[in-house]
Structure formats: C-alpha cells, structure tokens
C-alpha cells in the first residue's frame, strides 16, 4: 500500500529537472527497484509477469490493479539508466503492461477487477471483481506509448476506454 511513495520518488527527481539537488530521490528510487525485482514472478502457462504482494516476510501470488502504476513508473525510470539497464527496465515495464491490459481483457465486461491471483497452471483469476475506475493502467499505457512510440499501447488504452464507456456510463455521468 506504499505504491505512491515509489512513484513520487521518481517523479520528484523528474520534476526537479533531474538536477543534483534532487538526485537523492533517484538514488532512493533505484534502491527500491532492486527490491521490486525480487517480487517479480511469471505465471504458467502464459508467462504473465506480475508483482507478488509482500506482507512482512510472506509473499502472495496476488497483484492488485492498483499496482498497474508500475509499468509507467518503470518506463519513466528506465530513461535514467545506462544502455543495458535501461532496456531491462523498459522490457519489464512492457511485460507488466501486458499483464495489466489482460486484467481488463480477462472479464466479460473488459473492465479489470480490483485484484488477481496467479496459481500454477491457471495464469490469473480475478479475486475481487468490482471495478472502481482506477487510472493506473491507462497512465502506464500512456507513458509507454509516449516513450516508445508503439501504437499498441494507444490501442490498448482505447479498448479500455471503450469498455468504460459501454459499462460505466449512466445518464447523469
């Protein structure tokens, strides 16, 4: 539940024009990303990349839709690394974005549930099925589209928008 902290470390560095005065935010972010990498798993059989949930010393093969801020954060942060590391973080961002997009594609309404479980041989199953119009996946897809120029991310965002229009619009809003 500390997702915003990590995101804002990076954004404080970016908004501070990446100067020496705010470099410590970037350094803290890079240190925290080493920890994040220890939480990355891949499902079977489809190899969806996900971030385990950590509670104390316990790991759970569960990922909240809220964690879909991570692809955008990793994509933004990849541009502060040297060549080898930059590609690695951008690739991880793209893999996680694919999983987040599939959170939406896996339901009849094409709207993501609040969280998903990953069990061996089952890929992902929705945990909590309601959708509360979270922006994290869309923001990540926007960053990936802008940073890579890959229109696939724009198309995925449009698909999600259309699902919101179809299933969430009412006469008054």
**Choice among 30, 53, 85, 114 that is catalytic:** 114
Which DSSP helix (H) or strand (E) runs through 160?
Answer: helix 151-168
Strands (E), the chain: 40-42, 49-51, 53-55, 58-60, 62-64, 115-119, 123-126
- What does the alpha-carbon distance between residue 109 and residue 114 come to, in Å, rounded to a whole number? 14
Q: What is the CA radius of gyration of the chain?
A: 16
C-alpha span between 157 and 142 (Å, rounded): 8
Q: What gap in Å lies between CA 101 and CA 9, rounded to an integer?
A: 25
Check if 114 is active-site.
yes
Backbone dihedral angles phi then psi of residue 58, each to the nearest 5 degrees: -100, 135
Looking at the annotation, which residues are catalytic? 114
């Amino acid at each position: 539940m500390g997702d915003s902290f990590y995101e804002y470390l990076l954004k404080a560095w970016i908004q501070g024009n990446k100067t020496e005065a705010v470099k410590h935010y970037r350094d803290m972010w890079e240190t925290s990303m080493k920890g994040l990498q220890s939480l990355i798993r891949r499902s079977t059989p489809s190899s969806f990349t996900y971030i385990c949930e950590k509670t104390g010393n316990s790991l759970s093969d569960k990922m909240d839709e809220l964690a879909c801020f991570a692809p955008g954060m990793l994509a933004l942060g990849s541009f502060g690394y040297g060549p080898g590391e930059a590609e690695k973080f951008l690739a991880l961002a793209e893999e996680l974005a694919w999983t987040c997009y599939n959170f939406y594609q896996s339901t009849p309404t094409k709207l993501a549930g609040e969280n998903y479980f990953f069990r061996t041989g089952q890929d992902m199953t929705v945990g909590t099925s309601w959708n509360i119009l979270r922006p994290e996946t869309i923001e990540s897809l926007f960053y990936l589209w802008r940073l890579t120029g890959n229109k696939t991310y724009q198309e995925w965002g449009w698909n999600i928008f259309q699902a919101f229009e179809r299933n969430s619009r009412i006469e008054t809003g």
